[in-house]
């Protein structure tokens, strides 16, 4: 028995365990002449690994791409929703909207984020489409081929006392590009980050039309008429978007008037919209 123990001790001694040295959080063990075992306990490597895992479960920092749903409105340059009569009587035809039917919808198909400082500060751009719908309370008729959309082309439809309007809308479609600066409170986990974006959106009108639905003598009629309606071809304005995680609220304020210069109502009208965003 003593011989077995002695042989075991001699065998272990021949393996020649030269050194076991530790430097910071890394341990190196030499085992024999050619075999080396490295054990890493570097805190920085552990931190990087945890960051990668957190990013995988933390979603992405996409807060513009998706679709927006909200309400459309119109006001004046002085932020008035109603102008005293009779100074601009016809202007109030446009300002008096049915907000429960004046919808804003935006489909933001493509978003590109350029990180200026990690994910804390990013530059946001992309490409999308926007649909604006203004539903009038007054039974006005807009002429699509008129040179001016003002008191001479706004006509109150009172020809028939049995005429009842159900829907009377002006609609427009734009292609748009955003240019926003976004701030995030968390650079690694978008689901646990407050975000705030502000900047501008630039739009180009590709279509416009009016849509009317009315009832006369018990019969319902629908009319859709495409036309330019002297709407401004280009649209640009201020944008603010804010939220937490995947929840985002937005507000858009146009700096360009709805109608072309000197082709609209007596007082220029400016679109604005607000609502909730659903990101991809």
What pTM value is reported for the model?
A: 0.78
Residue with tokens 């927006």: 68
pLDDT band at 195 (very low <50, low <70, confident <90, very high): very high
Nearest CA to 146 out of 134, 155, 138, 137 is that of: 155
pLDDT band at 26 (very low <50, low <70, confident <90, very high): low
DSSP character string of 60-81: ---SSSEEEEEEEEEE-TT--S
Per-residue pLDDT, 19:
41
Residue-range domain boundaries for the chain? 15-57, 64-279
Q: How many CB atoms neighbour CB 157 within 10 A? A: 14
Q: Are 277 and 197 in contact (CB under 8 A)?
A: no
The answer for 229, left when phi > 0, alpha when psi is -120 to 50, beta otherwise, is left
In this model, does residue 23 exceed pLDDT 80? no
Task: Take residue 157 and report the two structure tokens written for it.
Answer: 């439809």
Task: Take residue 135 and report the two structure tokens written for it.
Answer: 């539903």
pLDDT band at 214 (very low <50, low <70, confident <90, very high): confident
Per-residue pLDDT, 162:
73
In this model, does residue 138 exceed pLDDT 70? yes
CA 157, 163, 164, 167 torsion-angle sign? negative
Instruction: Give the pLDDT mean for 30-36.
Output: 55
pLDDT band at 218 (very low <50, low <70, confident <90, very high): confident
pLDDT band at 33 (very low <50, low <70, confident <90, very high): low
Q: Are 242 and 248 in contact (CB under 8 A)?
A: yes
Q: Are 106 and 72 in contact (CB under 8 A)?
A: no
Mean per-residue pLDDT over the chain, rounded = 83
Instruction: Give the pLDDT mean for 209-236.
Output: 92
Q: How far is CA 110 from CA 2, 15, 101, 136, in A?
A: 80, 64, 28, 33
CA distance 44 to 276: 40
Per-residue pLDDT, 70:
98
Task: Take residue 235 and report the two structure tokens written for it.
Answer: 């649209």
CA distance 234 to 260: 9
In this model, does residue 269 exceed pLDDT 80? yes
Q: What is the dihedral of CA 27, 32, 35, 36, to 10 degrees?
A: 10
Per-residue pLDDT, 87:
60
Per-residue pLDDT, 155:
72
In this model, does residue 201 exceed pLDDT 80? yes
Per-residue pLDDT, 4:
47
Tens digits of residue pLDDT in 40-94: 555 555 555 544 554 555 678 999 999 999 999 999 999 999 888 766 768 888 9
Q: Are 250 and 275 in contact (CB under 8 A)?
A: yes
CA distance 65 to 109: 6
- DSSP letter (8 states) at residue 187: S
């Amino acid at each position: 028995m003593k011989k077995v123990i002695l042989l075991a001790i001699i065998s272990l001694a021949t393996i020649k365990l030269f050194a076991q040295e530790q430097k910071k959080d890394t341990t190196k063990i030499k085992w024999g002449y050619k075999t080396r075992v490295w054990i890493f306990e570097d805190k920085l490597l552990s931190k990087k690994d945890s960051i990668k895992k957190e990013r995988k479960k933390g979603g992405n920092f996409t807060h513009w791409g998706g679709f927006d749903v909200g309400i459309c409105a119109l006001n004046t340059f002085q932020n008035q929703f109603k102008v005293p009569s009779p100074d601009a009587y016809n202007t109030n035809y446009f300002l008096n909207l049915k907000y429960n039917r004046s919808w804003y919808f935006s489909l933001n198909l493509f978003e590109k984020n350029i990180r200026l400082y990690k994910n804390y500060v990013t530059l946001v751009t992309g490409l999308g489409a926007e649909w604006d719908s203004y539903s009038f309370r007054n039974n006005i008729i807009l002429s699509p081929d008129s040179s001016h959309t003002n008191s001479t082309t706004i006509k109150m439809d009172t020809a028939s006392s049995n005429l009842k309007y159900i829907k009377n809308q002006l609609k427009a479609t734009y292609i748009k590009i955003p240019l926003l600066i976004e701030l995030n409170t968390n650079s690694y986990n978008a689901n646990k980050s407050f975000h705030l974006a502000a900047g501008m959106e630039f739009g180009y009108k590709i279509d416009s039309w009016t849509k009317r639905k009315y009832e006369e003598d018990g019969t319902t009629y629908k009319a859709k008429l495409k036309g330019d309606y002297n709407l401004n071809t280009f649209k640009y304005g201020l944008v603010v978007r804010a939220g937490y995680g995947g929840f985002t609220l937005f507000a858009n304020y146009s700096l360009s008037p709805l109608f072309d210069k000197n082709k609209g109502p007596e007082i220029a009208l400016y679109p604005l919209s607000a609502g909730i965003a659903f990101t991809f």
